[in-house]
Amino acid sequence: MKRLASVDTQAPKPGFWTRIAHPGLFLGWSGHLVIPLILLTAGLMAWGLYLAFLASPPDYQMGDTVRIMYVHVPTAWLSQFCYAVMFVSAIGTLVWRHPMADVSQKAAAPLGAVFTAIALYTGALWGRPTWGTFWEWDGRMTSTLVLLFIYLGIIALWRAFDDQLKAARFVSVVTLVGAINIPIIKFSVDWWQTLHQPASVFRLDGPTIAPEILLPLLVMSGAFSVLFLTLHLVRMRTEIVKRRIRTLELAAARAAGGAQ
Amino acid sequence: MIALGQHWEFIMAAYLGCFAVVGALIGWTVLDGWRARARAATLEAQREQQRAARS
């Protein structure tokens, strides 16, 4: 009987989804991932930079300016991947009211804005020697600039609300509407006459890039992707702590009000 | 010294700009986390003190 009683009082072990959904449990398991992710980012970045500067040839047409592609393509890819993360998180907020979904959305927005800005900056620096201009109002560049403005608008919207749960629902709707820009960026080079080259890595018939140039491109893309995952995880952890601070401050204010 | 050809200044500007911004992003993320954890620890300690004072 004693044994049965002890079993009855034991709390059930949290399942996989509970461990992800519960902010306290998330802080516990995600803490073990930060250092391995930092080491993986540093290793991939060092290998990528070695390949980019020392172990890859100049392109037969672009010459050495092809090396700008090793930072431009990964950041351009992340500008869209980050939005995809926010899109899935927005669905999580609106459909399932997942407690971590709005934390994920809020943590991703500044990262997306920074990677989009870097993609535009490095693209302009590549465009000047290659096309003869820093900027052209063509489909790909204009839609990427619009993406940057969407990110900045979403960041401003998060800051406009004191109640972050209410903000999450507004931001989720804006994120879902703004997602229309992602296929426009992707297919702009096929739909309109543009200076920007069509897709050369993610193609149904495989990449059209020489292997000596494709390898540093993929390694740098991997390095920047793991960097994004690391920063996203750390920023999610910080956001959970900030929400705890908000709760503690409200409790302290209530206690101070009750004591008067 | 790595030879970067006639457009070396564009290549260097792209990499320096990119890694300066990424460095600032990492610094901001780390600093923000530290500040939040320190603030949370202070508030938790204050709450414990208030509880101890009440009991």
d(CA A236, CA A253): 26
Q: What is the pLDDT of residue A98?
A: 85
Q: Are A171 and A89 in contact (CB under 8 A)?
A: no
Q: Please indicate if any CB of chain A lies within 8 Å of the CB of B18.
A: yes
pTM of this prediction? 0.89
CB atoms within 10 A of CB A137: 7
Contacts of A231 in chain B (CB under 8 A): 25-26, 29
The CA angle B47-B52-B53, to the nearest 5 degrees, is 95
User: Which residue has 């200044």 as its token pair?
Assistant: B9
Band the pLDDT of B1: cuts 50, 70, 90: very low
Task: Flag whether pLDDT at B40 surpasses 70.
Answer: yes
Q: What is the pLDDT of residue A1?
A: 39
Band the pLDDT of A194: cuts 50, 70, 90: confident
Task: Flag whether pLDDT at A3 surpasses 60.
Answer: no
Task: Flag whether pLDDT at B22 surpasses 60.
Answer: yes
Contacts of B23 in chain A (CB under 8 A): none
d(CA B51, CA B55): 6
> What mean pLDDT do residues A19-30 have?
84
CB atoms within 10 A of CB A225: 16
The string of pLDDT tens digits covering residues A86-120 is 999 999 999 988 889 999 999 999 999 999 999 99
The per-residue pLDDT of chain A, averaged, comes to 89
Task: Flag whether pLDDT at A255 surpasses 70.
Answer: yes
Query: Shortest Cα distance from A201 to chain B (angstroms)?
Result: 21
Band the pLDDT of A260: cuts 50, 70, 90: low
d(CA A234, CA A35): 11
User: Which residue has 């930079």 as its token pair?
Assistant: A49
Q: What is the pLDDT of residue B17?
A: 97
Give the percent of chain A with pLDDT over 90.
63
CB atoms within 10 A of CB A203: 11
The string of pLDDT tens digits covering residues A231-251 is 999 999 999 999 999 999 988
The string of pLDDT tens digits covering residues A147-190 is 999 999 999 999 999 888 899 999 999 999 999 999 999 888 88
Q: Are B40 and A58 within 8 A, CB to CB?
A: no
Q: Please indicate if any CB of chain A lies within 8 Å of the CB of B34.
A: no
Query: Shortest Cα distance from B7 to chain A (angstroms)?
Result: 7
Q: Pick from A82, A58, A61: which is nearest to A70 by CA?
A: A58
Q: What is the pLDDT of residue A258?
A: 63
Measured torsion, CA atoms of residues A21, A27, A31, A32, in degrees rounded to the nearest 10: -50
- Backbone phi, psi, residue A131, to 5°: -100, -15
3-state secondary structure A58-96: CECCCEHHHHHHHHHHHHHHHHHHHHHHHHHHHHHHHHH
Which of A10-19, A73-82, A179-188 ranks highest by mean pLDDT?
A: A73-82
Encoded tokens for A9: 């009082």
Alpha helices in A161-210 (DSSP H): 164-178, 181-191
Q: Please indicate if any CB of chain A lies within 8 Å of the CB of B50.
A: yes
d(CA A151, CA A14): 35
